[in-house]
Amino acid sequence: EAQVTQNPRYLITVTGKKLTVTCSQNMNHEYMSWYRQDPGLGLRQIYYSMNVEVTDKGDVPEGYKVSRKEKRNFPLILESPSPNQTSLYFCASSLRVGAEAFFGQGTRLTVV
């Protein structure tokens, strides 16, 4: 089944403890991106990647890192999480730049 898989689905962590949210797609998509969703705001793009070893900042990249060592994986890294990073996170992939996005199931992160 074609899908985008995020893990974990839910995570509660403490301020400053490094964490990684994984994202994997099995559709051989070139383009992948990360978004966060906060109440009252639209999905905001954190980082995106057009292909392996090519990543770029979205609108809200501060406090996040990403890597794209393989085409299928695009992990989101929070080196030192803070409470303002408590949010619902979505990973998405597209066949190519500009194409429709396929979203993962979401990761609800709480930083206390």
Partner 1 sequence: ILNVEQSPQSLHVQEGDSTNFTCSFPSSNFYALHWYRWETAKSPEALFVMTLNGDEKKKGRISATLNTKEGYSYLYIKGSQPEDSATYLCAFSRDGQNFVFGPGTRLSVLP
Minimum Å gap between C-beta 110 and partner 1 is 17
Question: Among 18, 20, 43, 19, which Cα is nearest to 33's?
Answer: 43
Minimum Å gap between C-beta 97 and partner 1 is 4
Smaller CB separation from partner 1, 12 or 41: 41
Smaller CB separation from partner 1, 53 or 79: 53
DSSP codes of every residue in 3-36: -EEEE-SEEEE-TT--EEEEEEESS--SEEEEEE
Minimum Å gap between C-beta 75 and partner 1 is 18
Smaller CB separation from partner 1, 52 or 102: 102
Which residues are at the interface with partner 1 (CB under 8 A)?
31, 33, 35, 40-45, 48, 50, 56, 58-59, 90, 97-106
CA distance 33 to 37: 13
- Residue at 85: amino acid letter: Q
Minimum Å gap between C-beta 53 and partner 1 is 15
DSSP state of 73: B
Smaller CB separation from partner 1, 101 or 109: 101
Number of residues that this document lists for the chain: 112
